[in-house]
Amino acid sequence: MSRRMKWGVFSLSQYPDQSIKVEGLEADMKLFELAESLGYDSVWLAEHLFSTYGIVTSTQVLAAAVAQRTKRVRIGTAVVVIPFNHPLRTAADFALIDCLSRGRLNFGIGRAYQPHEFVGLGVDMAKSREMFNEGIDLILKSWTQEKITHKGKYWTVPEPIELLPKPVQVPHPPVYQATISPESFDQAAEHGWSLQLAAPFSYRTYREEWIPKLAGEVKRYERALTKHGHDAGPLERMMLLPFFVDTDHKRARDTLKPHVEWFYNKVATHQQPTSGTGLVPGYEFTMGEGKKSREMGYLAFDKLAEHGACVVGDPKACIDRLQQMKAELGVTEFVLWSNLGGMPAVRAESSIRLAWEKIAPFV
Q: What is the pLDDT of residues 219-230, one digit of tens each?
A: 999 999 999 999
Q: Which tens digit of pLDDT belongs to each residue from 98-137?
A: 999 999 999 999 999 999 999 999 999 999 999 999 999 9
User: In the predicted model, is pLDDT for residue 1 greater than 60?
Assistant: no
Q: Which residues pair with 243 in a beta bridge?
A: 311
pLDDT band of 248, cuts 50, 70, 90: very high
Backbone angles phi, psi at 17, to 5 degrees: -90, 100
Give the chain's domains with CATH numbers: 6-362 (3.20.20.30)
DSSP H helices, the chain, are: 21-38, 59-69, 87-100, 115-121, 128-144, 182-191, 199-206, 210-227, 249-270, 284-295, 301-306, 315-329, 345-358
User: In the predicted model, is pLDDT for residue 231 greater than 90?
Assistant: yes
What is the full DSSP assignment across 141-161? HHHHSSSEEEE-SS-EEEEEE
Amino acid found at 279: L
Given a contact cutoff of 8 angstroms between Cβ atoms, the answer to whether 352 and 336 are in contact is yes
Q: How many CB atoms lie within 10 A of CB 294?
A: 18
User: In the predicted model, is pLDDT for residue 32 greater than 90?
Assistant: yes
- In terms of Cα–Cα distance, which of 74, 178, 83 is closest to 136? 83
User: In the predicted model, is pLDDT for residue 177 greater than 70?
Assistant: yes
Q: How many CB atoms lie within 10 A of CB 282?
A: 18
Indicate the pTM of the whole model.
0.96
Instruction: Provide mean pLDDT across the span 184-212.
Output: 97
Given a contact cutoff of 8 angstroms between Cβ atoms, the answer to whether 204 and 293 are in contact is yes
Longest CA–CA separation in the chain, Å = 63
Higher per-residue confidence, 349 vs 3: 349
Q: How many CB atoms lie within 10 A of CB 334?
A: 24
User: In the predicted model, is pLDDT for residue 276 greater than 70?
Assistant: no
User: In the predicted model, is pLDDT for residue 75 greater than 60?
Assistant: yes
Instruction: Provide mean pLDDT across the span 145-168.
Output: 98
Omega cis (within 30) before 346: no
